[in-house]
Structure 1
């Protein structure tokens, strides 16, 4: 479900994007998963014919460690920014990370929720802290982790903790 004061417009970032039609205050809920969102197991998506698979991968967001969701609303058009104005507060809800002005594009960081579908693409966000590329492994970057803290879904937090434990175990073995 989408905030009532957002709409779809042409985006300078890429294609179409989601824009605020009025001021949205920091902390306001912007998107929440809807029970009617269509869910796909990632393995099943990869077993599909290429055209169908590619269309699903383009418009879905990762909503669990092995699950993709198709937002039935305009949320599927939310573009990436390395300095997003929304972030996660739990497994299915994003809020405004800071105040969002009327007319401003509502963005998210794809690295905060996409990890199981391999991708690597150029970033056009234009943010001062732009990473230049967006990948399914961005959540492992320490700068990303400092920026987002716990504002990622639980499966991303679990993956970050597992990676840290793996590094610590490797260091312990070498010591």
Structure 2
């Protein structure tokens, strides 16, 4: 669950992105896994899905790094955070995300998707779990 004020807008990186409403100082906790809002979906449930539901999960879910039997779906706008090779948010921890540097109001918040996949980034539907 995002812990800072954000808004969604057209991203120069990809489709829709998450943008900071206010200044976010370096080191700020910006996201924390919250079991009431961020859903852990069993892999066998995810793998049974088809059509639009599966396509949505493929795009907006990622493997749970704490337990490979689950994927994580973020129920808030965090799911729209885009990848950057030089991100401003640190997602190295599976439970918390911190600002790597000061983030200006109106700046897109980004993370490195490679943290979610052992062999490099790919959307879930492009690989087998």
TM-score tier by shorter-chain length is 0.7 to 0.9
Report the Cα distance in structure 1 between the residues aligned to 2:120 and 2:44, rounded to whole angstroms.
10
Q: Which string of whole-angstrom CA distances, capped at 9 and with x for unpartnered residues, describes residues 68-126 of structure 1? A: 11111100000000111011363210000111111110001110113489837xxxxxx
Report the Cα distance in structure 2 between the residues aligned to 1:83 and 1:3, rounded to whole angstroms.
22
Q: CA RMSD in A?
A: 2.5
Match for residue 74 of structure 1?
77
Match for residue 87 of structure 1?
90
The reply on whether 1:8 has 2:8 as its aligned counterpart is yes
The reply on whether 1:60 has 2:47 as its aligned counterpart is no
User: Quick check: which one's helix share is greater?
Assistant: 1
CA, structure 1 residues 51+117, in 2 after alignment: closer, same or farther (shift >3 Å)? farther
The structure with higher relative contact order (CA 8 Å, sep 6+) is 2
Unaligned runs of 5+ in 1: 121-134, 137-175
CA contact (8 A) 2:24 2:102 kept: yes
Q: Using structure 2 for the length normalisation, give the TM-score.
A: 0.81
CA contact (8 A) 2:81 2:111 kept: yes
The runs of at least 4 consecutive aligned structure 1 residues that moved more than 2 Å come to 41-44, 61-66, 88-91, 114-120
